[in-house]
Amino acid sequence: MTARDNILKRLRERTDGPLAAPESDFAVVTGRDWSQEERLARFERLITSVHGEVIHTSHDGWTKALAEVLEAKGIRRLALGREHPVAAEARAALAEGDVSLIDADRDVESWRHEQFHDTDAGLTSTRGAIAETGSLWLWPTPDEPRLLSLVPPIHVAVLDADTIEDTFFDVIEAHGWAGGMPTNALLISGPSKTADIEQTLAYGVHGPRELVVLLRHAEERP
Amino acid sequence: MSSAHESVQTFTPREFHRQAHDALGNPQIRANFRRAMDGLMAKRRDVFSDWDLETLRELGANIRLRALAKLPDLLERLEANCQANGIQVHWAENGDEACRIIRGICERHEAKAVIKGKSMVSEEMHLNAHLEEAGIEALESDLGEYLVQLNEQTPSHIIMPAIHLNTDEISKILHDRTGTERTRDVDIMTAAARAQLRERFMAADVGISGVNFAVAETGTLCLVENEGNGRMTTAVPPVHIAVTGIEKVVEQLRDVPPLYALLTRSATGQHVTTYFNMISSPRKSGEHDGPQEVHLVLVDSGRSNIYQDDELLDTLRCIRCGACMNHCPVYTRVGGHTYGTTYPGPIGSILMPHMMGLEETKDLPTASSLCGACGEVCPVKIPIPDLLVRLRRESVGEGRGNVPGAGVKRTKTEVAAWKGFQWLATHPAAWRSGMALAGKLQALMPSRLGPWTEYRTAPKPAKVSLHALVKRHQANKADENEETR
């Protein structure tokens, strides 16, 4: 008998007999019915409450906002993908400038030192966001690998306003996550933080010190 | 006064009373815990204020109960789906076996350096010591765990391992052990630890983490964290080993959002943690980062024994949020180390007796005033006070006898004393003459009665019992009535 067999046998031959499995009512984690304004306001309030920075921009003019962020934060070396429209548009817009573009779509083994030591920021797309908790959701890809949103000291994430949904439960259900999970699925809510030293909050303990969300709106906002 | 490393102590549940006495006399420990627990209780209260908390707790309890009801099937399903995703699954009956499995994987990869994300199961099985014996260095990367490891201690809280240390003590530890400048600036200390640990992440051969929820439906391992060290541990080294108790499985992906909502709010009063990291496979062909191998080690360590009993089963619903300790008046005063066990506080007191036996842990179920706070805040509604009482009964041999070490506190004197009392209390004549005799011999009553009289005066049987007084009073009344008529 292996450990597996022994454990399963003990569980199956339970002294007090089989247990009844209750049904679950998930109503409490869904059905918020927020308007788009409420969703946006709530998302922004929550992610900024944990030190996330939100910059509103139009869908067409977002690369200008990106350039301003890079300038303001002194980002000289930006890691990014290549194929995703976010990466492609950023590359096109930054091609002429003096920010060095670092290819993130490479085996990490070939540029680990550069990624850890010589990269100022990572740029990623996002799949959407959750208003209830102020969270971004990302499914890293070969184009935008998982460490791109973690290792560089600043993470710049591009989010479309119309992809914000109410709750985590809503996202999982609406996008059929259970039908096929990626290698890694992530919720990101603010920059890395710790309160392990006497409950005092400090940002940027292992991951990014700053999280900047470029929030793209389909139409020019009045 | 300082609990920093010059006074490294080892703690054992056998010495609970002595350790509690020492902790109660240590103003530093008391201040550190009082401040931290007050803050955590207030934050939890605020973050749940706009929620229908009872309905959410009901759902949390219900999801965990459903998972336990289907546990053997779900474990097989989890295994099959993990394997289909390319995750290798291992089973261990106890901590030693799990340690050997993990060491085996490390040795196959000729690993010399292991980086660890926070894992209470790995603490439970003393994995670091085991790996070090095999010449493999295991370094903790959660900041609190790192500090505790530098100070050669164990965590004093399951969520905030270094909660017993204050800023000055931490500054001294970082200075003495890593050469960091002496400072009270938390940002400087955090930055120093970041720099030290980043080098170690890059150099690590294997990353070892725990698991918060393992999803049977999709073969997904979920990790909850704020620091990013969990993501680093599971994505930077070429091999990732996740270790977890068999009870951590949930049936479906949709079971995860309610439990996650309960966990972060109950633990630290956060709406959400910085990262929720869901891992379903090793690096796939064409992907550029993440480990080449992912292993899942499922550990029993007494859990399948707890599983046998309808009442004790509730213990396994726990999602390890720590709210019970944050709200426990005993934990807040004596701190986590006093318990001498991996899991301190109320959850530890109902879990550790199963893992270590009641011989070692017989005092833990009594480390509670049964005020009920732990049960009231538990996000999955574990009736912790009832379970504490059950374990007290088991320890004196009055339960079902299915907890290791049951009956360890049973003494002939106590059994005889209660038998005697039972007889006396059910024989009125004997009771009355006994009481009358006790009243007459009142002067012979000792003034010291063990621990009872440490803070109280000894009880004195009255010369005349209340019963007799009432009788006399009624007789007098009757006489008066007679006279006035």
Q: B13-33, pLDDT tens digit by residue?
A: 999 999 999 999 999 999 999
Euclidean distance between the first and the last CA atom of chain A, given in angstroms as a whole number: 71
Share of chain B above pLDDT 70, in %: 98
Q: What CATH fold (topology level) applies to the domain A35-217?
A: Rossmann fold (3.40.50)
For A197, name the nearest residue in chain B, comparing CA atoms only.
B167
What pLDDT, on a 0 to 100 scale, did the predictor assign at position B54? 97
Of the pLDDT bands very low, low, confident and very high (cuts 50, 70, 90), residue B122 is: very high
> What is this structure's pTM?
0.94
Question: What whole-number distance in Å separates Cα of residue B287 and Cα of residue B303?
Answer: 37
B4 pLDDT higher than 50: no
Average pLDDT over residues B57-73: 98
Q: Of B382, B124, B67, B91, which is closest to residue B247 (Cα–Cα)?
A: B67
Q: Taking a C-beta distance cutoff of 8 angstroms, is the pair A158, A18 a contact?
A: no
- B103 to chain A, minimum CA–CA distance in Å? 17
Asked whether the predicted pLDDT for residue B443 surpasses 90, the reply is no
* A202-203 and A210-217 beta bridge pairing: unpaired
CATH 3.40.50.10420 fits B25-305, yes or no: yes
Cα(B281)–Cα(B119) distance, integer angstroms: 20
> Do B391 and B397 contact (CB within 8 A), yes or no?
no
Residue B433 has pLDDT above 50, yes or no: yes
As a whole number, mean pLDDT of residues B412-420 equals 92
pLDDT of residue B452: 81
Nearest neighbour of B202 by CB, restricted to A116, A167, A199: A116
Q: Which of B136, B140, B141, B76 is nearest to B104 (CA)?
A: B136
The pLDDT, as a whole number, for residue A220 is: 59
| Partner-chain residue, chosen from B55, B283, B307, that has the shortest CB–CB distance to A28 | B55
- 3-class state of residue B399 by DSSP: coil
Using a CB-CB cut-off of 8 Å, the residues of chain B touching A157 are none
Query: By three-state DSSP, how is residue A135 classified?
Result: strand
Q: Does the pLDDT at position B6 exceed 60?
A: no
Cα–Cα distance list, B224 to B58, B267, B477 (Å):
22, 11, 73
- Whether A153 contacts chain B with CB within 8 A: no
Mean pLDDT of chain B: 94
Kindly tell me if the per-residue pLDDT of B1 is higher than 70: no
**Residues in chain A, pLDDT under 50:** 222
User: Which pLDDT score, from 0 to 100, does residue A216 have?
Assistant: 98
Q: How far apart are CA B200 and CA A66, in angstroms?
A: 33
pLDDT classification of B437: cutoffs 50, 70, 90: confident
Q: Where are the beta strands (DSSP E) in B141-260?
A: 206-209, 213-215, 220-225, 239-245, 249-250
Give the model's pLDDT for residue B92. Answer: 98
Q: State the pLDDT at residue B8.
A: 56
Q: Smallest Cα–Cα separation from B40: which of B262, B273, B325, B343?
A: B325
- CA-based torsion, B9, B13, B15, B19: positive or negative: positive
Kindly indicate whether the ipTM for this predicted assembly is greater than 0.95, answering yes or no.
yes
B277-318, pLDDT tens digit by residue? 999 999 999 999 999 999 999 999 999 999 999 999 999 999
Question: According to the model, what pLDDT value does residue B39 have?
Answer: 95
Q: Reply yes or no on whether the pLDDT at B451 is more than 70.
A: yes
Longest dimension (CA), chain B: 109
**Residue B457 in this model has a pLDDT that exceeds 90:** no
Tens-place pLDDT, residues A28-41: 999 999 999 999 99
Cβ contacts of B302 on chain A, cutoff 8 Å: none
Axis-axis angle for helices B412-425, B428-440 (nearest 10): 110
Tell me the CB-side half-sphere exposure of residue A17, using CA atoms within 13 A. Answer: 1
Q: What is the dihedral of CA B342, B343, B344, B348, to 10 degrees?
A: -130
H or E stretch covering B405: none
pLDDT confidence tier of residue B179, bands split at 50, 70 and 90: very high
Quick: pLDDT tens for B196-206: 999 999 999 99
Give dist(CA B195, CA B185) in Å, integer: 16
| Residue A153 and residue A208 in contact, taking contact as beta carbons nearer than 8 Å | yes
Across the interface, of A2, A7, A21, the residue whose CB is closest to B246 is A7
Q: Do A189 and B272 touch (CB under 8 A)?
A: yes
- Predicted local distance difference test score (pLDDT) of residue B167: 95
DSSP conformational letter for B151: T
| Residue B376, pLDDT score | 98
The pLDDT-based confidence of B475 (bands split at 50, 70, 90) is: very high
Smallest Cβ–Cβ distance between A196 and the set B59, B147, B288 belongs to B147
Torsion angle, alpha carbons of A124, A129, A132, A133, to 10? -20
Q: Report CB contact under 8 Å: B254, A169.
A: yes
* 3-class DSSP state of A74: coil
**Nearest chain B residue (CA) to A199:** B36
Residue-level pLDDT at B83:
98
- What integer pLDDT is reported at residue A221 of this predicted model? 55
The count of other CB atoms within 10 Å of the CB of residue B56 is: 19
> What pLDDT score does B114 carry?
98
Cross-chain Cβ contact A193/B274 below 8 Å: yes
Q: Backbone phi, then psi, for B175, in 5-degree steps?
A: -65, -50
pLDDT at site B485: 67
